[in-house]
Structure 1
Amino acid sequence: MMDTGQRVKLVKSRAWQIRRRQEKHITERLSLVSVALCCCLIYAMGHFPDRSPGAVQGLNGATMLLENVGSYVLVGVICFIAAVVVTVFCTRLRKKNNKQEERTKEDEEA
């Protein structure tokens, strides 16, 4: 027969395993979304028109006025927004995990 302390330890161990499995699934899904986004952006870059060269001597700001450069800027902005969203998501996930770990440590001490 197991006493209460051993049962509590087994339950906490199982809860930790389940939590780690969920974190692994979230990480895998996030990686898949990142790869899919990267592939979509590469595909989109291949279909943008290349009508004129992207270099104008002496007029650095004028290169933004060319027809095909705006699409590159758009893709850059979309990539930046996606990176910010992923960073915020990961930061919130880390904070949530830290709070859960603090709670489990407090429960173990009690």
Structure 2
Amino acid sequence: MYDTARRVALVKQRVRENTRRRQRRGIYVLSAMCMLLFAALIQTAGAVIGQGQTAVWGVFGAMLLREDAGGYVLVAVASFAAAAVITALCFRLRNRENQKKDGTDKPNRHEQEEKSQ
């Protein structure tokens, strides 16, 4: 039979393992979502961007000067918007996990710094 200190240590170890497993699963899910988003953007780019001159002499930005460059701009804007949304969701998820870890609804560190200034 284990004593109380040993049981507490085993419980803490199990909690750390579960937390690590949950974080690893979250990373896998985010990676899979990014790959799916990448594949969807590639398919969208193929459908939206018209057939034209594939080789451009000089700077790559010269492709935006063509009349059918709207597809490139559309894909770029969609990519930026998706990246901004994913970043915001990751920040919110991190803040929520920090609040759960603390056990109370404490204000964030940067909010505390703003109030103190």
- TM-score scaled by structure 2? 0.63
Give the match for residue 37 of structure 2: 37
Instruction: Return the alpha-carbon distance in structure 1 between the equivalents of residues 5 and 88 of structure 2.
Output: 39
Equivalenced residue count is: 95
Q: Gapped runs of 5+ residues in structure 2?
A: 57-61, 104-117
Instruction: Return the alpha-carbon distance in structure 1 between the equivalents of residues 24 and 18 of structure 2.
Output: 10
Q: Gapped runs of 5+ residues in structure 1?
A: 55-59, 104-110
SS of 2:51's partner is coil
Aligned-pair CA distance for 1:101 = 5.5
1:50 aligns with 2:51: yes
Instruction: Return the alpha-carbon distance in structure 1 between the equivalents of residues 100 and 17 of structure 2.
Output: 13
* Identical amino acids, percent of aligned pairs: 35
Give the match for residue 113 of structure 2: none
Give the match for residue 80 of structure 1: 80
Give the match for residue 27 of structure 2: 27
Specify the code of the residue in structure 2 equivalent to 1:16. R
SS of 1:2's partner is coil
- TM-score scaled by structure 1? 0.67
